[in-house]
A and B are shown apart, each in its own frame.
Chain A
Amino acid sequence: MSSNDDTSGNKTRYDEVEFEFYAELKSLPLSRDLEENKRFLTRIFTDCSDIVIRPFTIERDIPALVVLVDGLVKTELVENALENLMILEGQESDVESLMSRSLPVSQVKKADNYAKFLEGVLNGDTGILLDQNSEGLLLGIRGPAGRTVSEPETEGVIRGPREGFTENLRINTSLIRRRIKSPKLKTKPFILGRHSSTAAAVIYIEGMTNPGLIEEVLGRIDKIDVDVILESGFLEEYIQDSALSPFPQMQVTERPDTTAIALMQGRVAIVIDGTPMVLLAPTVFIHLLQSSEDYYERFQMGTLIRWLRYLFLFVSLFMPGLYVAITTYHAELIPTSLLFSIASAREHIPFPAVVEALIMEVIFEALREAGIRLPKAVGSAVGILGAIVVGQAAVQAGIVSAPMVIVVSITGIASFTIPSFNGAIAVRMLRFPFILMGAMFGIYGMLIALMIMVGHLANLRSFGVPYLSPIGPMKPSSLRDVVIRPPFWAMTRRPGYMNLLDDVRMKPNIKKEIWQQRGQKGLNIDHDRQDRHSGEHNDDEK
């Protein structure tokens, strides 16, 4: 093709292009003619009050154009850069030389087509176009970061870092990089959403994470072609293994330390711009019951807390169902005096136990939902209202029995002991089928429901890893980190079920020493030195 044809062809295409963003712009190179570019940009950005397109001249007579999104750039730094271009430096008409000499900006990229150029600009870069250049410059002086790093609200800890992810992708990746300062930490970027063009990154440790897994994650993401991705939940639904399961097959966290631990277990993190929620995959069921704090406090406490969580997982799943089943089918199982207490409380209740349970559970869910949705100032009022109306008045009015209120409250508390919110959601939902099965068929029905649930869990996989591992397909070596929280010095290997390239976590020499001596003993430190000055002084006094 001759150059003439090229321009004319481009000309028509510039006019024809409909704003179906990147796919079409990808093949559209920047024009050498600045006016042409300016016309095109003003056309596509018609009625975009936040886009600044400002022509200027680099000292003397080189026409140039700066394109930026107001609010996404750091204005002072942009002004500083423009000042350099307009006043201080002279006579640079070439992008290359401008880049290497005139711009005091650390991050500069070149773009030769509109897709790349606009992607940068819309992500907060400052775009500079020069006349007679087929490439534009993107200055990476992005502006106010938005929310600063603050304590994660959904995953609090007593001991442990207080940092949580923010809505900004770069801050999030930096938080991870700050914890794993290794060139093996890879952050593979990609863009999602035809309109939102959300930046995202797949993060993993090269040489440890199973390459097949990385390929699978990237492959699944690659298939998505959708207009907008706003939250990691959007992505999760596209790439999870079992789309219909109530159980989450990816862990969601807003803690960088949790993410770092996951990465060091050979898992993959998916960070998406615009949300502090990072996806971790593959995830097995046990991950939903573990908190990063398990590893920060003493291992005995971590173990006990884990047992407590396992216990309360069952409580939150079964307790209302069991209560209904036992009181309506298996009254002989209740100790006599307890039965009499329940009987006397239930004496004037107009509803069957199952209706009572469903009423209370639904009201509890409504209260909980209202508590999240309402403005914080009103939230506590709703809490009090709920507690008084449901807990007190309903019992006194004889509509709901006191034991049922206790059961529902304990169940509610129990569901909050599950550290991951999306894991707790599954349990919350499944509680209702258990109540119904318990009400219809007693404990027998609950066992059937349990068998179906366990069967489903055993059938699930998360990115190829069986969901119940290391229990499901049993891996005795990894099972230890499930039953107890082993002390760090005893965990020499990374989880076996992840199929890692490198699963050595620790050299075993220190394990041996600590195990044999029950710790590291400071026997070589002399605490009774005679020549100590203070010691002599004290002796004299005596």
Chain B
Amino acid sequence: MMMKNKSTVLCLILMMAAIVPLTGCWDRREINDVAFILTSAIDMEPNGQFRVTMQVPLAGQLGGPSGGGGGTGGNKTYYIDSDTGRTIREAIAKVQSRSARRLYSAHRRVIIIGEELARTRGIREIFEAIARFPENRITAYMIVSKGKALDLLNTKPSLERFSGEAMREMAKTEGRIVINIKNVAQALSTPFTDPLLLYMGAKNTEGSPDKTSEVEVLGYAHFRQDKMVDTFEHEKANAINWLRKQPHPYDYVIPFGKQSISLEMTEGRTTVTPILLNDGSVKFRIKAKGRIAVMENLSGSDLTDPNVFGQVRKVAGDRLRQELLDTLHQIQQHKTDPLAWGGDVWRRNPRKWEANYRHNWREKLSEANFDLQVQIDIVQIGYISSNIAEVTRQ
């Protein structure tokens, strides 16, 4: 009896001990044996293959008071390597075969997609390689580069250590709804909405003999399903922010009087209300309310004069209305829905959506009318009413 008890206990202990190694995935990996991919760039080669470029920080060069010297060479804090393949994974494997450390993508925070790839082959295939394994984090930002993604990755921003880091910082400030892999995949997975990706380009600095190449936010890439069709740049990029219901401050100049006035849009609020008309078409009532501040007044007009004040308001409002209309026009022209307004309609009236809109939403949206109500308030004209250096009349 006693023996039996003892062997039962022993058996139990052995079984419990076996649970521990039985999970079967012993993945011990010292930090020193891992190369962290910080940013990937995916391009299309002329022969149709993928070119995958990755930026890997050199741990020894990352600073820390005593970390310097030895090992990895030069003053560069990262290295960039690239290869081609029929699949993305193949290209990565080729790079892996010539690197001493395991390439580890769990800390990849930015994926850049070349414009050519986005325009011709589409971005849908990329998600296959990304989402199949949990090592790739799907909260990484997704960016479309102007020109080759490779070139954008090779910029050397002065204020950040890595170009990928600069892109991430910029993507983070660009609007509160982040555009990461997950959001893009979600937009792609519904047939009637389209993704909206940030569009960035390389730009050389001006005014200094040592030119550096910096990353510049150009606006948004305009997609129809997984293929890029156009871009929203400059004013249209701001208009997209308005239409995404999260305008963030931007500066713009309006011609006024003799010269022009520089204004800053300090904050704004948009509401978009879909109105389902009886004839089966849809109309959108867009209310945009903005508050602007006068930053520079070269017009010579006195802003304290209510007449002038009202005119500035009107010019600023008209300008915003025109920008919004242009942008909406571009959206309609390509029969796209990057702002996911189909979802708004569906939420408003699911039954009507199913009956009238779902099957030909792209057509419906491209024929939709807009009721734009723009209201601009000048909340600040600054501390001076006229230039303090101006000769005052006695």
**Closest residue of A by beta carbon distance from B105:** A332
A122 to chain B, nearest CB (A): 48
Assuming A344-B59, A344-B60, A346-B59, is B34 touching A331 (CB within 8 A)? yes
In the bound complex, residues from chain A placing their C-beta under 8 Å from that of B234 are none
Q: A332-B106, A339-B36, A348-B60 are in contact. Are A395 and B29 (CB under 8 A)?
A: no
Task: Give the Cβ gap from A446 to chain B, nearest Cβ, in Å.
Answer: 12
Residues on B with beta carbons closer than 8 Å to the beta carbon of A343? 31-32, 34, 36, 57, 59, 62
Q: By the criterion CB–CB under 8 Å, are B71 and A331 in contact?
A: no
- Tell me the minimal C-beta distance from B20 to chain A in angstroms: 6
| B118-144 vs A, Cβ < 8 Å mask (1 yes, 0 no) | 000000000000000001010000000
- Best-surrounded residue of A347, A353, A441, A444 (most CB of chain B within 10 A): A347
Interface check B173, CB cutoff 8 A: no
- Distance A68 CA – B110 CA, assembled complex (angstroms): 89
**B62 CB → nearest A CB, Å:** 4
Interface string of B56-86 (1 = CB under 8 A from A): 0101111111110011000000000000000
Q: Which residue of A lies closest to B65 (CB)?
A: A402
In the complex, which range does the number of interface residues on chain B fall in?
A: 20 to 34
Indicate whether B341 reaches chain A with its CB closer than 8 angstroms.
Answer: no
Q: Determine if A352 is an interface residue (Cβ-Cβ < 8 Å).
A: yes
Contact in complex: A331, B59 (CB < 8 Å)? no
Contact indicator B34/A402 (Cβ below 8 Å)? no
- Name A's interface SS: helix
Contact call A332/B137, Cβ cutoff below 8 A: yes
The answer on a CB contact under 8 Å between B28 and A328 is yes
Interface assignment of A349: CB less than 8 Å from any CB of chain B: yes
Which positions 31-50 of chain B face chain A at CB distance < 8 Å?
Answer: 31-32, 34, 36, 38
**Secondary structure class of chain B's binding surface, majority of residues:** loop
User: Which residue among A336, A353, A439 has the maximum number of chain B CB atoms within 10 Å of its CB?
Assistant: A336
Cα A331 to Cα B135 with chains together (Å): 10
Q: Would you list the 10 A-B pairs with minimal beta carbon distance, nearest first?
A: A332-B106, A344-B62, A343-B59, A344-B67, A347-B60, A344-B64, A347-B59, A336-B107, A340-B62, A345-B64
Instruction: Select from chain B the residue with minimum beta-carbon distance to A403.
Output: B64
User: A407 → chain B, closest Cβ, in Å?
Assistant: 14
> A346-384 CB contact bits vs B (8 Å, 1 = yes)?
111100110000000000000000000000000000000
By the criterion CB–CB under 8 Å, are A342 and B70 in contact? no
Chain A CB within 10 A, most for which of B31, B57, B71, B109:
B31
Is the CB of A396 closer than 8 A to any CB of chain B? Answer: yes
In the complex, the answer to whether A344 meets B36 with C-beta atoms within 8 Å is no
B contact residues around A345 at 8 Å (CB): 64, 66-67
Which residues of chain B come closer than 8 Å to A441, judged between CB atoms?
20
Chain B minimum-CB-distance residue to A340? B62
> A344: which B residues are within 8 A, CB to CB?
59-64, 67
Q: Does B256 contact A (CB under 8 A)?
A: no
CB–CB A341/B64 < 8 A: yes
- B284 lies within 8 A of chain A by Cβ: no
Decide: A331 and B31 in contact? CB cutoff 8 A.
yes
- Sample (14) of A-B pairs whose CB atoms are under 8 Å apart: A329-B27, A329-B28, A331-B31, A336-B36, A336-B107, A341-B62, A345-B67, A346-B30, A347-B59, A348-B67, A396-B66, A441-B20, A445-B20, A448-B20
* Cross-chain contact B66 with A340 (CB below 8 angstroms): no
Given A331-B107, A332-B106, CB of A346 within 8 Å of CB of B20: no
